[in-house]
Structure 1
């Protein structure tokens, strides 16, 4: 198929050249078919995995009938004037076919995966006005010939590619240019001097390259310039005068270079300029007083320079200013009181300076939304600022960060005046006293960080009034008393850190109602009592540290607490359970001991009348206690007997395995509850090691959301895997259960683990599978060591095999429900085998919420609609999980990575880098230099398509298989990479 496609492309290219020669030789005007021919030849150099260009038909007489996707024509001349293929997932190169389109005015191919270079002749198409090749993987140097004949070109964008070398000097000959965007490439060297003299230029973006040299003088000729960005290059020297003559300039970004000296004085003429960023350079001296004449400024960023002295009073003359960043300089003194006039200020950052005094009162009266003074530590500290804050009623402030300073005094109840506050960070100061009850009146608060202070007293009960709270950090203080149960009202809480205080009492069961909890740290306190068992039901919990307390009893059972790190439970001597390697003692009722002796007067041998009367009352109480004790003992004995009978029944059920070979379904002749019923789908011999091996811990392979898996051996020497379901109370009736299992037993595919049979009793259900020896995909991706890792070809084969398995399941009307790398096994030949398919159908009593708790280890694979009760769960959920699995295989990262201060969701991370044109950076570092970039990037984009938030946008698994087979088209003799 590939050879035929290549021959066809070669044939069309030759045909194109022949026609060019014919036209040139005969001097005949181009026919209407020239556009069709040019586009078909252009298409031949592309790969179209999504079939976006299927409407481009070489048999059409014209491309202007309205059916050719992405093509627009002039209605009068009937010639192609525009090609817009943005975001079509196209691979391949930009071919010569476009040269035939002599009436083309706009060429836009952004957001694809085009590679290679660009022909130097494309810009010479006579009528071409717009070239947009941004967001691709184009590389190589741009030939100086590219812009030789570009007199009609208005806009050129090569942004977010991998172009290298120098910017072509011929670009300066494009006198009609109004916009140049070469950002996010690897251009180096000097900028051609003629670019600075393009008088019609309105926008110039050369940011994120490796350009160097000085900005030349003479830029004042760029009278029409509205925006200029040279950010993140290696420009040096002074910024010359001249930009002040570009009176239409609205945005200037010279950040992150090596520019020095002072701010050029003629910038004061730019009264329309709203954005000025000089951050990350080596500017020095004072901020000039004339800065107040730039009346249009909304953002002023002078951070990370060498500015010194005081902030000038004229800064208060900028009425439109919204963001002021003066951090990481050498400013001293106070902020000027004139800044009280900045009525539109939303964010202020003066951190990492040497400013003295406290925050002036104007900040407390303005509409500022964000105040950052962290790490500003003047000599002598900043005192009483928070006190003055508390005395001023502020209604609009939303974000306040006063962390990492030397604030002291107490937090007073007037904090309640900050009614709009959403985030308050006062950490790493010297605040003392109690947390005021008025904190509960901050109804809009989502984040509260009072950590690392000297706070004392109780956590106020009123904290439960902050119902939107998502993060509460009170660690490293001197708080005492109990954790208030009112915290259950903070239903959005995801982070709770109360560590390193003096808290006591038990952990409230109310925490179990906070279903959004992800991180809890209660370590280094004096908490006592048992850990509430309800905590095991928290669906999103991934960290719970209760170390170094006085917790006792058994850890609650549950998927999280079964695998809790030892360090998170250390330092609790009375805690027991598997995670602390300490078995819990059997809990028996305490015997009732009655003391028949009564208290007598030691000075007399006779009993007083009063004591005699008390003895009668005790005797009645004793009789009541004895009666209660008898009832309790009888109840305990009854329970023990019932347990022994149940165990005996279960042992008889487990021991009742017998086989009788037969037809398609063989089964034991006994089917009662005591003996059980065994069915093998092809009359296999019985187990060589007996039924007891199935329940032997030494044979356990692992545990999942539905049960434990054991390995045993058939008498013919073949190994099988036995899944013991641990959700018996939710299993169907025997009839329905057997019908569903037999349906699964008939499904056969080379990439599915074969279901061999099952065993049934009302109290014990087993599923019997083929044994796959190579371990899970999760193990190969995340637990491999040294040079033992999956190559690119092996990963691609796993992706393709898994896709085929799911396509077969969907064709058989079976939804997997639990796609994850743990459920993809690798056999001895490297072939993927999907397991645990269709199990949810065996458990009809599981709604999607119970099911999500059973498979919460699949966090990150679940489609968003899974959480919506009104949306039907379909095959599209499997496709979402498959998409996440694809990204996991290509990147080598888990679907959800828990960092120290962040949670990274894989598909969001890859989608973000893809939008920035850096998707290749996500590929597993182990594969660097050992994989075909075109294939890997295409596979990742397919994974992103499968993880679309809208189910209808996800392709079917059959389509996924077809796309993967199109992506993998190796030529003969291609050597395996990796």
Structure 2
């Protein structure tokens, strides 16, 4: 009987063990199935997931997978930075033991899958540094188990749902930074009582977080970053009962009123950044209690009152920036007690007194900027014994001489600016030992000494500015020994002797300015070795002889001024010398130029009369020809008309062929569009059962504008003829009011769709990229509306119309654009294009730069429109492409018509060059006469060769500075080079325009 009982017990235990094993096998299969389904929706170009094999019994040996050693269930998936892409589909919800999921630093797109909320044991979720878009699912934290959530640096938009934080009692760390999130910070955030780290920076959150959210009740918070949002209002005292707070960043907002004094009650605070706001009045004295503070930035506010004398009590400070305020008073000697300080900037205040001698006790200082104050006295010798990288004492009232410095300084200093003071005495010879020095500015002082030859010892110096420094003697021949100089400015001194032949060793120079000195002798022929030179200024000296003909080989020269010297003879036959203006040549003994009146003195045979049409040399004049043989104006005009006739014939043939091709393409495109429309209508009606196509998706990026949602439910109501304000290749533009007030006036572009419609998520992703673009010279994208048959882009309304209307459609009562405004439009447009080309990878190329796409805002500030639309309509067919070329005749770069050439951002540079010519001349790029076609680009080239290029300048703008207009025209011809690689980048164009306007390149504006 006992044996039977034992047998029954053994059988029961065996069955139980089988059941457990079967259940365990089932759960393991769930993990494998979930991971394989997830992998199927992911693109893995590097085969990083090749070890994920559905035939395996367990996923625990798979790469990037971690399992529980006991249950063998998957607990961790770490797929950071392995170049995965695609969307998060289904599958992951099967992994019910998963605690950590990290997909950071990949290329995932689409919406965040709300089914991730089914992972009931998930503790860490990291989806940062991807391209997820859309709104954050309100259910994402429903399980209540999440402790770490990072959704930063994506394309997420819209407000953060209140329900997201309904169950966040375990949340320790939250980062939503670097998205397009907007609206107020949710008040439900106050439920996250255990939150230690919160980062909402670089979004568009608005309102006052003090009154609208519960952030200040999170008493366990350690790091709080709300920087670079649209937050505003005052921060009253009494909100900083945050005993554990270590880092606080509110910079880059619009906070106002006084600084909250109770920040001083945060004893553990190490980082405090309140810069770039609107705070007023004095720095609260309670800040002196922040004994742990290592980083303090209050720059660019409206603070006033005396500089805090208690600053020396913050002995842990490493970074201190009070620049851009209105602080007064003196610096206390106690500032030298900040022995850990590495960065000090107090520039652009109204501080006075002497620079404290005690500062030399801050032996770790690397950067010091005291510029733009009223400091007087001498520079403390001890400061130049420290290992600085940057010193800026410019725009003060300092006197005395420059300290000699120590070997520690020589090994580290990269930038030294002592300009606009009252410094005197010799320049220390030791200064030449600064091996890393790249920028040296001693201008506008009163040294009354010679330039030391040790300046030639600088191995890396790129900018040397000694203007108006009262320097005497000769220019050292050793100056260019390093060959690294890019900018050399010696104007307004008392230099004597000749320009050294060794100047040709400055092979990197692009700006050479030695005007207003007492230099004599001839211009050295070695200058012809300066192949990068763009600007040459030698006016107001005693230079004699002829200008070396070799200088005509400098193809990059944009501006030359040799006026008021003792020069004579012929001008170089190449480069820009045949088109120099009288103002650049006057005041010499006798330079031979048809543009100058007065004697022509020659030390050589009569000058060669350069034929303005070099391809007709067989009929040209030679150097020995009589002056009576020089072609008259009528003969020159005759030659020019002959060329025009040839151009007209060729252009007419090309235009005829183009019209025929475009007509055929249009017929084909119309047939295809009809077919597509019919197909879409059929698909829509069958899938939606007759639902209205107007009920689409409305996405709004701009929280500052409050759209009338009821109006936007029927966007077709805006698309009426009376609202139309323009049309282009990509669609028709309408003006619309979506609320009350001027701020709610927008433009709506009805996009032309010429091929199969893209998926809405792809359209959404590309438009959101454009929505992130923010620049003063770009039209801001506010939002979009999408249905399968209707796509609308909503942008800022720019009140002053387009550049086209100001240049070519101006009414007689409307004043013409002045040169000042034209140059401003050129500079702004260049900066906008440079931002598109150089701030994004890959660059955003416009492809259609012309006056219609340059809108003019307040004070005629230019704003580029229609940028990036080729990203949205990526499947442009030949119909749209041919229409684009047809609507932009004269602006299109030659490589865009040749399929064998690679098209890049240089095609925008070409279009910008044509735009320059159009703005300066007031003419269209192609003009049709009765018997000829005038191509503006070619016409300006010919007139430049003839030396009368300023005759093509628009007379309506009145007076203009020739020294600016001429190099601008030269820049236009460089930009319109037929070879793309010969055109400058837009960043270089921005720099050149800045140099032309105010030749101080070291202080150029950024694009």
TM-score for the superposition, normalised by structure 2: 0.54
**1:144-203 CA-partner distances (Å, limit 9, x unpaired):** 333222334444333344443321111122234333222233333322463234244332
Q: Does 1:647 align with 2:590?
A: no
Aligned to 1:185: 203
Distance 1:168 1:536, change over 3 A: farther
Aligned pair in 2 of structure 1 residues 895, 255: CA closer, same or farther (>3 Å)? closer
Match of residue 471, structure 1, among 482, 487, 506: 487
Tell me, what secondary structure is at the counterpart of 2:351? Answer: strand
The answer as to whether partners of 1:34 and 1:100 remain within 8 angstroms in 2 is no
The answer to whether the 8 A contact 1:35-1:80 is kept is no
Distance 1:694 1:61 in 2: 85
Q: 2:261 aligns with which of 235, 240, 249?
A: 240
Among 987, 992, 998, the residue aligned to 1:898:
992
Partner of 1:169: 187
TM-superposed CA distance for 1:125, in Å, is 5.7
Matched, 1:141 2:196: no
Question: 1:898, CA displacement in angstroms?
Answer: 2.3
Instruction: Check whether the contact 2:440–2:464 (CA below 8 A) recurs between aligned residues.
Output: yes
* Alignment partner, residue 698 of structure 1: 641
Alignment check: 8 A CA contact 1:188 1:212 kept: no
Mean Cα displacement is larger for which, 330-339 or 506-515? 330-339
Aligned CA distance change for structure 1 residues 375 and 222 (closer, same or farther; 3 Å): same
Q: Which SS does the other structure have where 2:533 is aligned? A: coil
Residue 841 of structure 2 is aligned to residue 820 of structure 1: no
Q: Given that residues 101 and 125 in structure 2 are in contact (C-alpha distance below 8 angstroms), is that contact kept between their aligned partners in structure 1?
A: yes
SS at match of 1:711: helix
Q: Deviations over 1:510-565 (max 9, x none)?
A: 12212333332223334333333333444544443334445444544556557667
Work out whether residues 344 and 369 of structure 2, in 8 Å CA contact, stay in contact via their aligned partners in 1.
yes
Check conservation: 1:499, 1:521, Cα contact below 8 A.
yes
Q: Structure 1's 510 and 894: CA in aligned 2 closer, same or farther, altered over 3 A?
A: closer
Q: C-alpha distance in 2, partners of 1:181/1:491?
A: 49
Matched, 1:453 2:570: no
**Corresponding residue to 1:781 among 850, 860, 874:** 850
Kindly indicate whether residue 538 of structure 2 is the aligned counterpart of residue 518 of structure 1. no
Alignment correspondent of 1:274 = 294
2:175 paired with 1:157: yes
> Match of 1:535?
551
Residues 1:695 and 1:353: Cα distance change in structure 2 (over 3 Å): closer
Contact 2:261 2:284 in 1 (8 A): no
CA contact (8 A) 2:467 2:489 kept: yes
Residue in structure 1 matching 2:334, options 307, 314, 325:
314
| Cα deviation, residue 806, structure 1 | 6.9
1:713–1:719 contact (8 Å) kept in structure 2 = yes
Q: 1:857 aligns with which of 974, 980, 989?
A: 974
**Match of residue 649 from structure 2:** 713
Q: How far 1:451 moved relative to its partner?
A: 0.5
1:459/1:484 contact within 8 Å kept: yes
Contact 1:37 1:97 in 2 (8 A): no
Report what 1:740 is aligned to.
Answer: none
Measure the CA separation in 1 of the matches of 2:365 and 2:322. 16
Residue 232 of structure 2 corresponds to: 211
Q: Note closer, same or farther for the CA distance 1:322–1:819 as it changes in structure 2 (3 Å cut).
A: closer
Distance 2:537 2:194 in 1: 63
Identify if the C-alpha distance between structure 1 residues 793 and 131 changes in structure 2 by more than 3 Å, giving closer, same or farther.
Answer: same
Question: Cα distance, 1:487 vs. partner?
Answer: 1.5
Distance across 1 between alignment mates of 2:973 and 2:350 = 51
Q: How do 1:395-414 and structure 2 match up within 5 A?
A: 395-396=410-411, 397-411=413-427, 413=429
Cα offset, 1:321, TM superposition: 1.1
Alignment match of 1:353 (pick from 368, 373, 391):
373
Conservation of the 8 A alpha-carbon contact between 1:112 and 1:136: yes
Query: What is the alpha-carbon distance in structure 2 between the residues aligned to residue 314 and residue 34 of structure 1?
Result: 65
Equivalent-residue separation in structure 2 for 1:786 and 1:288 (angstroms): 47
Whole-angstrom CA distance in 2 between matches of 1:100 and 1:570: 83
CA distance in 2, matches of 1:221, 1:645: 84
Within 5 A, what are the aligned runs for 1:577-726?
647=618, 696-700=639-643, 710-713=646-649, 719=653
Among candidates 336, 351, 356, match of residue 336 of structure 1 = 356
Q: Is the 8 A contact 2:96 2:120 kept in 1?
A: no
Shift of 1:798: 5.2
Decide whether aligned partners of structure 1 residues 647 and 861 sit closer, same or farther in structure 2, where only a CA change above 3 A counts: closer
Please give the secondary structure, in 1, of the residue aligned with 2:214.
helix
Aligned positions of 1:771-920 closer than 5 A: 781=850, 792=866, 796=870, 797=880, 820=907, 857=974, 898-901=992-995
- Partner SS, residue 177 of structure 1: coil
Cα offset, 1:107, TM superposition: 4.5
CA RMSD, 1 decimal = 6.0
1:324 aligns to 2:344 (yes or no): yes
Shift of 1:474: 0.8
Unpaired runs of 5+ residues, structure 1, are 1-28, 592-635, 637-642, 651-691, 702-708, 723-744, 754-774, 837-852, 868-880, 905-911, 914-921, 923-978
Q: Tell me: CA distance 1:903–1:589, structure 2 relative to 1, closer, same or farther (3 Å).
A: closer
Number of aligned residue pairs: give it: 671
C-alpha offsets along residues 235-291 of structure 1, whole Å, 9 cap, x if unaligned? Answer: 4334333555442624544553315444444644533x3211123345555555653
Cα distance in structure 2, aligned partners of 1:257 and 1:528: 58
Structure 1 residues 344 and 718: CA distance shift in structure 2, 3 A? closer
Q: Distance in 2 between matches of 1:392 and 1:896?
A: 38
TM-score, normalising length: structure 1: 0.56
Instruction: Give yes or no for contact 1:36–1:61 (8 Å, CA) kept in 2.
Output: no
In structure 2, do the counterparts of structure 1 residues 240 and 821 end up closer, same or farther at CA, with 3 Å as the change threshold? closer
Listed as ranges, the matches of 1:478-557 within 5 Å are: 478-538=494-554, 540-557=556-573
1:106: which partner in 2? 125
Identify if the C-alpha distance between structure 1 residues 854 and 97 changes in structure 2 by more than 3 Å, giving closer, same or farther. Answer: same
Aligned residue runs from structure 1 range 414-453, under 5 A: 415-416=431-432, 421-453=437-469
Separation (CA, whole Å) in 2 of partners of 1:332 and 1:785 = 46
Larger radius of gyration: 1
Q: Partners of 2:100 and 2:155 in 1: how far apart? A: 25
Choose the corresponding residue for 1:120, options 132, 138, 141. 138
Contact kept? 1:322, 1:346, Cα under 8 Å: yes
Contact 2:280 2:304 in 1 (8 A): no
